[in-house]
Amino acid sequence: MDWTQTIFEVIDMRSFSNLWFWIALAVVWSSASHWVLGVPFDMITRARRHGGQAQEDLETLVSINVRRLLFIGRVSGLVLIGFLCFLLTALAILGFVYDVEFAQALFLIGLPLSGVLALSLATARRLERDEPQGEELYRRLLRHRQIVQVIGMVSIFVTAFWGMAQNLSHNWINGF
């Protein structure tokens, strides 16, 4: 017996029935909502509670990350958007036309994350334009985080629904 065949028999390599996929999905969305424009959420709450040096550090870090995101967007944004569209299209075709479950799983993670990327760029543009400080900055960062969390919740729901349908159809075809 071949060792790869043994591995594939012992470990279910289908994405939606694999525990590691669901752990990875949870980590992706947990990280996406924790890092608000590259700033950790605990830093925002600390600056809001204590002010002073923590607030100055937050404003500096937000300013640095806003300039970094916008620089990347302005310098190589079109190339990155083209590559992202190609990748998502390839995953969608492989996943939903050719029924490759791994491509479906990656698409269901990647599509909403591309929305988070667009949201981050839009928020960064607004922060650069308005240069908010103090309570206004906290409000905007927390609003951005809430929207990311809603996108994540909808994404997890859709992925779970699709995964359940895939698992049921696979079990139905192959028998229980």
Computed on alpha carbons and rounded to an integer, the radius of gyration of the chain in Å comes to: 20
Closest CA to 21 of 116, 114, 107, 149: 107
pLDDT for residue 20: 87
Confidence of residue 4 (pLDDT cuts 50, 70, 90): confident
Q: Which residues pair with 36 in a beta bridge?
A: 39
Distances 131 to 31, 82, 125, 140 between C-alpha atoms, Å: 25, 30, 10, 11
The amino acid that residue 109 corresponds to is: I
DSSP E strand boundaries for the chain: 35-36, 39-40
Confidence of residue 15 (pLDDT cuts 50, 70, 90): confident
pLDDT at 175 over 60: no
The amino acid that residue 145 corresponds to is: R
CB contact at 8 A, 141 and 79: no
Count H helices, E strands: the chain?
6, 2
pLDDT at 6 over 80: no
The overall pTM is greater than 0.75: yes
Mean pLDDT of the chain: 92
Length of the chain: 176
Report the alpha-carbon distance of residue 23 to residue 135 in Å, rounded. Answer: 35
The pLDDT tens digits for 50-86 are: 999 999 999 999 999 999 999 999 999 999 999 999 9
Q: Which residues pair with 39 in a beta bridge?
A: 36
pLDDT at 10 over 60: no
DSSP category for residue 94: I
The pLDDT tens digits for 101-124 are: 999 999 999 999 999 999 999 999
pLDDT for residue 88: 98
Distances 170 to 17, 51, 152 between C-alpha atoms, Å: 10, 55, 26
